[in-house]
Amino acid sequence: MNRRQFGTTLASGLLASPLLDTPLGAATRLLTPTAPRVNGERLNRHLAELSRFGSNPHGGVTRLAYSDADKQAREYVLGLMRDAKLTPSIDAAGNIIAARPGREASLKPILFGSHIDSVPEGGNYDGNVGSMSAIEVAQTLGEQGITTRHPLQVVIWQNEEGGLYGSRAVSGQLTPEELQNVSRSGKTIAEGVSFLGGDPQRLAEAKRAKGDIAGYLELHIEQGGTLERDHVDIGIVEGIVGIKQWEVTVTGFANHAGTTPMDQRHDALLTASRFVEAVNRVVTSIPGRQVGTVGRMQAFPGAPNVIPGQVVCTLELRDLDAGKIDTMYARIGDEAKRIAAANGTSFAFHSLHENVPAPSDPRVRSLIADSARELGLTARVMPSGAGHDAQAMAQLGPMGMIFVPSIGGISHSPKEFSRPNDIVNGANVLLATLLRLDAGLVTSG
Ligand SMILES: [Zn+2]
């Protein structure tokens, strides 16, 4: 059984479990009366304080990576880390890494954290919830006098929103050419890394190898609406979906829209319209949570009185299973040939971008499930349709992600909101999972 099959089997086992969508109540909680809990009031206060940096008039934040607001927010974070008795430093890639020693110095560290940069006109929760919770978890450990076996590292990744730059530098996936990409702040990635206190010349020093970490945990808002809709407290991320994107060119023949009879046209836009419908039909004809989108389309020459001779559009497919993406692509390709043959047009597909699926570790998923159950919280295994730094960390060691509900499923918007109590639940699950991961990956139950 390969890793993916194992993951799927375990996930379907968890999904089928009657325990997961049922709160177990006080009896379970009494089993561990001394299990530590975070200070929820302090956590939500820190979250509110963080939202001042880059606050926009609509109630959210515009805290672009490498902007002044980003740098000031990072200064605030460094202060919180010192208050939590952590020792923060900035790695060569510009990530903030705050260490807390463990009892067994020979063990590899467990990393946990998230990001605090935002999209333009973003919200106060994406990345911030996981970042503030990670610091809160470390502070709680200190206050409770708990020293873990493994060294711990709280990580605030730089420029998640621009393309996981900080975490991909650490996983070794960032190419030197990408340092010249221009970020939304106007600075190149190299300039941004320097601005944050890193050193793009020494980027290799930030890189870690597979097996260099004992595990990675990240708490994040769902950014979709399913947990809230179904009244589930905690999402256990099965994996971060793979993404494949293509540029699709439909070639027909541009001709006079007044003099060319309807049965003699090679209308590229008509073909492209049928293609959009076919993509939707193929993707929805298979059971599962895969998604497919035509997100952009342009017709040429683009005049009211000319039959479109060419259309350039995009195709994007996402799923946890790379094989399913390939199957859908093949079927869409067959449909495209059939559609093109009907009016003498043709298709060409050019690959734009590929992100391989990043499954979470099935053992970490069961630790998250155990932690939620212990806290009397309902939980559900689900894919992440959005990208996260955790997908880069999955290259280095066992990865687990915890979701809390996003009200209305709204994200990347000032209207983004997660309830304070849900955030505290998530932080407590992060804490409990961290302690279980520290105790050893193999569970007795
Ligand atoms: Zn995020």
- Per-residue HEC secondary structure of 360-386 comes to CCHHHHHHHHHHHHHCCCCEEEEEECC
- The kind and range of the H/E element at 319 are strand 310-319
Q: How far is the CA of 105 from the centre of ligand 1 (A)?
A: 31
Q: How far is the CA of 127 from the centre of ligand 1 (A)?
A: 4
- The kind and range of the H/E element at 277 are helix 268-284
Q: Does residue 2 carry a pLDDT above 70?
A: no
CA 115 to chain centre: 11
Q: What does the alpha-carbon distance between residue 331 and residue 313 come to, in Å, rounded to a whole number? A: 18
Average pLDDT, the chain: 92
Residue 210: how many CA atoms within 13 Å on its side-chain side?
Answer: 3
Which has the minimum average pLDDT: 16-20, 202-206, 428-432?
16-20
Q: How far is the CA of 444 from the centre of ligand 1 (A)?
A: 33
Q: Does residue 22 carry a pLDDT above 60?
A: no
Q: How far is the CA of 19 from the centre of ligand 1 (A)?
A: 29
Q: Residue 339: what pLDDT?
A: 98
| Pair 164, 157: CB distance under 8 Å | yes
Q: How far is the CA of 338 from the centre of ligand 1 (A)?
A: 40
Which has the minimum average pLDDT: 116-130, 327-341, 347-361, 417-431?
347-361
Q: Does residue 443 carry a pLDDT above 70?
A: no
Q: Which of the two residues, 193 and 3, has the higher pLDDT score?
A: 193
Neighbours of 172 (CB within 10 A): 17
Widest CA span of the chain, in angstroms? 84
Q: Does residue 24 carry a pLDDT above 90?
A: no
Q: How far is the CA of 315 from the centre of ligand 1 (A)?
A: 24
Backbone phi, psi, residue 229, to 5° = -55, -40
Q: How far is the CA of 117 from the centre of ligand 1 (A)?
A: 8
Backbone phi, psi, residue 98, to 5° = -115, 120
What amino acid occupies position 135? I
Q: How far is the CA of 129 from the centre of ligand 1 (A)?
A: 9
Q: How far is the CA of 220 from the centre of ligand 1 (A)?
A: 7
Q: Residue 15: what pLDDT?
A: 39
Q: How far is the CA of 218 from the centre of ligand 1 (A)?
A: 10
What's the whole-number mean pLDDT along residues 71-84? 98
Q: How far is the CA of 145 from the centre of ligand 1 (A)?
A: 31
Q: What percent of the chain has pLDDT over 70?
A: 91
Alpha carbon of 387 to those of 161, 167, 319, 422: distances in Å?
9, 12, 12, 22
Task: Identify the CA nearest to 20 among candidates 365, 367, 369.
Answer: 369
Q: Which of the two residues, 33 and 429, has the higher pLDDT score?
A: 429
Q: How far is the CA of 14 from the centre of ligand 1 (A)?
A: 25
Which has the minimum average pLDDT: 56-60, 334-338, 371-375?
56-60
Q: How far is the CA of 390 from the centre of ligand 1 (A)?
A: 10
Q: How far is the CA of 422 from the centre of ligand 1 (A)?
A: 17
Q: How far is the CA of 165 from the centre of ligand 1 (A)?
A: 13
Look at strands 358-359 and 110-115 and give their pairing.
Answer: unpaired
Q: Does residue 10 carry a pLDDT above 60?
A: no
Q: How far is the CA of 115 from the centre of ligand 1 (A)?
A: 6
Q: How far is the CA of 388 from the centre of ligand 1 (A)?
A: 6
Q: How far is the CA of 260 from the centre of ligand 1 (A)?
A: 52
**Token pair for 203:** 């980027």
User: Residue 35: which pLDDT band, with cuts at 50, 70 and 90?
Assistant: confident
Q: Does residue 197 carry a pLDDT above 50?
A: yes
Q: How far is the CA of 412 from the centre of ligand 1 (A)?
A: 9
Q: How far is the CA of 235 from the centre of ligand 1 (A)?
A: 15
Helical ranges in 56-198 per DSSP H: 68-83, 128-143, 165-171, 189-195
**What is the value of pTM for the model shown?**
0.82
Q: Residue 353: what pLDDT?
A: 81
* Residue 15 burial (C-beta neighbours within 10 Å; 0-12, 13-18, 19+): middle
Q: How far is the CA of 164 from the centre of ligand 1 (A)?
A: 10
Task: Identify the CA nearest to 199 among candidates 71, 91, 115, 97.
Answer: 91
What's the whole-number mean pLDDT along residues 397-424? 96
Q: How many DSSP H helices and E strands does the chain contain? A: 13, 16
If phi over 0 gives left and psi between -120 and 50 gives alpha, with beta otherwise, what is residue 353? beta
Q: Which of the two residues, 27 and 333, has the higher pLDDT score?
A: 333
Q: How far is the CA of 182 from the centre of ligand 1 (A)?
A: 20
Taken as a whole, the chain contains a residue count of: 445
| Pair 114, 219: CB distance under 8 Å | yes
Q: How far is the CA of 87 from the centre of ligand 1 (A)?
A: 24
Where are the strands (E) in 149-272, listed by range? 152-157, 215-221, 234-240, 242-251, 255-256
Q: How far is the CA of 222 from the centre of ligand 1 (A)?
A: 9
